[in-house]
Amino acid sequence: QKEVEQNSGPLSVPEGAIASLNCTYSDRGSQSFFWYRQYSGKSPELIMFIYSNGDKEDGRFTAQLNKASQYVSLLIRDSQPSDSATYLCAVKRGNQGGKLIFGQGTELSVKP
């Protein structure tokens, strides 16, 4: 079992719809959770991070964390074609310093 798992996709949604991206993790010692967006051939850029159970909203993006079920999700409201990218879920454990463990990423395609 991979430590951080994401559906590779592609996930296709129409413009204006809500895109829902999911991530599960195996280590209950994981403390913080990051969502990065990566356009093809470019470097990952941070969208949000979350470390408390519940929801965290930033503009069109909402991160949801459920530590009991060991999953974290990212919702993108009013999806735009410019949101088409690969979304990487990354996890930090409490006892491993700054190490980020990445999932494989979910490719999102927003169709006009």
Partner 1 sequence: EAQVTQNPRYLITVTGKKLTVTCSQNMNHEYMSWYRQDPGLGLRQIYYSMNVEVTDKGDVPEGYKVSRKEKRNFPLILESPSPNQTSLYFCASSPRTGPTYEQYFGPGTRLTVT
Query: Contact positions toward partner 1, by CB under 8 A?
Result: 31-32, 34, 41-46, 49, 51, 88, 90, 92, 94, 97-100, 102-105
Smallest gap, in angstroms, from Cβ of residue 47 to partner 1? 10
Which residue lies nearer to partner 1 by CB, 51 or 71?
51
Contact 50, 56 (CB under 8 A): yes
72 closest CA partner among 40, 112, 101, 98: 101
Which residue lies nearer to partner 1 by CB, 9 or 17?
9
Which residue lies nearer to partner 1 by CB, 79 or 105?
105
Smallest gap, in angstroms, from Cβ of residue 91 to partner 1? 10
Give the whole-angstrom CA distance, residue 74 versus residue 80.
15
Smallest gap, in angstroms, from Cβ of residue 82 to partner 1? 19
Residue in this structure with the two tokens 């195996």, named with its chain if needed: 26
87 closest CA partner among 7, 2, 1, 3: 7
Give the whole-angstrom CA distance, residue 89 versus residue 95.
19
Which residue lies nearer to partner 1 by CB, 33 or 64?
33
